[in-house]
Amino acid sequence: MIVTFDEFTMKLAHGQLKNTAAVDDQDTGEMNPAHQDQILSLTNQGLVDIFTKKKLLESRAVLSVTPGTNLYTLNTGVGQDYEDMIRVLQVEAVMTGQEVIEANKKVFVPKSNKHVTLPSDTVLRFSDAFLSTYGPEVDVLFQKKHPALVLGSQENINIPAHMYEALVLYVAGLYLSHMGGEEHTAKGDSYYGLYLKMMGDDEINNSSGTSELLDEDTRFSDRGFV
């Protein structure tokens, strides 16, 4: 589902944050401008937390590989291929000389395949055996964060419906906890506890598709690579 930041804050104003200093007009759900930046910051923080824990957004980029060059740094800078990357999920490769079609692609999961590894979060290492067998390009599939919300330019929240309520609870819980006072702290802790429960239940039910990808490649073992 896609909602604007204004729609999101209106839900908070009519619900969990009703009768707090964050709300300027209880009837319309208009937020107090003095608290808008704090709510925006907490919302972005919540999106990072949710999209890191749940595999909700994926992207892919083409990486050129060359025999003799084993290490490749993935550029996560603004506007680069791996912007907002959380982690590499898998590498898809076709044997050198074969047609690049889905039927010919083999999947390598870095954490379980020693021929494609991750020395760090943004560096891929390919074995000499891999580089002599596959290429000259591979596809890198990776998990992404939600783009940061920026008032005036990027104000849409694109999140699965079952995670929308989790984001509401996250923001409300931390906002109330930051207000201080016994009552606010207790209510904030309660909302944050519900957030954690919702995230846990989602993992148990696998509603967000968080199960690990399986490495089905057997070509190296078939050819005698160990």
Q: What is the pLDDT of residues 18-45, one digit of tens each?
A: 888 888 877 777 888 999 999 999 999 9
User: Could you give the number of structural domains in the chain?
Assistant: 2
Asked if residue 162 and residue 97 are part of one domain, the reply reads no
Q: Which residue has the higher pLDDT, 171 or 217?
A: 171
- Burial call 121-137: b when 16+ CB within 10 Å, e when fewer: eeebbbbeebbebbbee
Asked if residue 112 and residue 45 are part of one domain, the reply reads no
Asked if residue 154 and residue 136 are part of one domain, the reply reads no
Is residue 36 one of the residues assigned to a domain?
Answer: yes
Mean pLDDT, rounded, of the chain: 89
Confidence of residue 111 (pLDDT cuts 50, 70, 90): confident
- Per the listing, tokens 């930046």 go with 37
Asked if residue 152 and residue 134 are part of one domain, the reply reads no
C-alpha closest to that of 51 among 221, 210, 186: 210
- pTM confidence score: 0.83
Asked if residue 73 and residue 124 are part of one domain, the reply reads yes
Is residue 91 one of the residues assigned to a domain?
Answer: yes
Is residue 221 one of the residues assigned to a domain?
Answer: no
Asked if residue 65 and residue 138 are part of one domain, the reply reads yes
Asked if residue 81 and residue 39 are part of one domain, the reply reads no
Is residue 225's pLDDT more than 80?
no
Is residue 115's pLDDT more than 90?
yes
Q: Is 224 left (phi over 0), alpha (psi -120 to 50) or beta?
A: left
Where in the sequence is the domain holding 127, given as residue range(s)? 58-144
Asked if residue 130 and residue 170 are part of one domain, the reply reads no
Asked if residue 16 and residue 30 are part of one domain, the reply reads yes
Q: Is 22 helix (H, G, I), strand (E, B) or coil?
A: coil
- The DSSP annotation for 173-219 comes to HHHHHHH-SHHHHHHHHHHHHHHHHHHHHHHHHTTT--SPPP----H
Is residue 215 one of the residues assigned to a domain?
Answer: no
Asked if residue 152 and residue 50 are part of one domain, the reply reads yes
Domain boundary (144, 164, 188) is at: 144
Asked if residue 63 and residue 78 are part of one domain, the reply reads yes
Is residue 187's pLDDT more than 60?
yes
Is residue 151 one of the residues assigned to a domain?
Answer: yes
Is residue 96 one of the residues assigned to a domain?
Answer: yes
Q: What is the mean pLDDT of residues 86-106?
A: 95
| Residue 145 CB neighbour total at 10 angstroms | 18
Asked if residue 85 and residue 193 are part of one domain, the reply reads no
Confidence of residue 206 (pLDDT cuts 50, 70, 90): low
Confidence of residue 96 (pLDDT cuts 50, 70, 90): very high
Is residue 41 one of the residues assigned to a domain?
Answer: yes
